[in-house]
Amino acid sequence: MKKNIEAYVAAHGLALTKLCLSLTNNRHDAEDLYQTTWEKAIRNLRKYDDARPFEKWLFTICVNTYRDRVRRYDNKKILQFSTDEEQERFLSSVPDEEGDRDEYLALYSAVKKLKPSLREAVVLYYFRDYSVAELAEILNIPAGTVKSRLSAARAELRKELSDD
């Protein structure tokens, strides 16, 4: 198993890092989410069905862990930058080929206002261009629910961004 763990971490560590950052925006929380996700994945590796893409399985664990965290903190501490520097660091890490830099703070605020269930769906959607079926599998919700959450999330983002 040790070889597998090493290989899995090497192959999927960066993607998981990005997902954790996207879900939390807070490096501190993101790293904790990252560690806990690997911890759970390694602990349950024997349950992993290798017919299924490892990344999706890993992301499912990550999302479930994220949900636990949101539930425990009542969503209050999620998506909080602990310092202005941290905010600046995160926002400047967003690729900006089209010169939209100034608008990412508004986008962050809009994402932060989303309900957790909408946020996790929309973040995963944009993170990997997953299909509705794939999102349903990762989020463990029906495809119809994925569609409605994506639709609602995008509508709220659109409204927030137009208000700004």
Partner 1 sequence: MTDEKMDRMMKSYCNPQAEVFEYKPKKYRGLKAASVIAAALVLTVLGTLIIPSINKDSHNFVLTVNAASDRTENSQTGTIYSENFVYDNNMNQVDHYYVMDAEVMLGGDDIEDVSFRSLNGYGQFFVLYNPDPDDYHDDLGWWCDSEGNLAPDYVGWRTYDYDEYYNKAKIYPTNDWSKEYLYHIQYSAIDDDGYFLQPENATADRNDTIEIFVTFTNGDTLTKRLNVTYSDGVMSVEEIR
Binding site for partner 1 (CB under 8 A): 2-3, 5-6, 9, 13-14, 16-18, 20-22, 28, 30-32, 34-36, 38-40, 42-44, 64, 68, 71-73, 90, 93-98, 100, 103-104, 107-108, 111, 122-123, 126-127, 154, 157-158, 161-162
Tokens 């990762």 sit at which residue?
138
Of 42 and 143, nearer to partner 1 (C-beta) is: 42
Measured CA to CA, the distance from residue 36 to residue 72 in angstroms comes to 15
Of 37 and 136, nearer to partner 1 (C-beta) is: 37
Cβ at position 147, least distance to partner 1 in Å: 16
CB distance 112 to 79 below 8 Å: yes
Of 52 and 71, nearer to partner 1 (C-beta) is: 71
Cβ at position 53, least distance to partner 1 in Å: 18
CB distance 81 to 90 below 8 Å: yes
Cβ at position 5, least distance to partner 1 in Å: 5
Cβ at position 133, least distance to partner 1 in Å: 19
Q: State the Cα torsion 79-85-89-91 to the nearest 10°.
A: 60
Give whole-number Cα distances, 30 to 45, 53, 85, 100, 150, in Å.
22, 23, 16, 24, 23
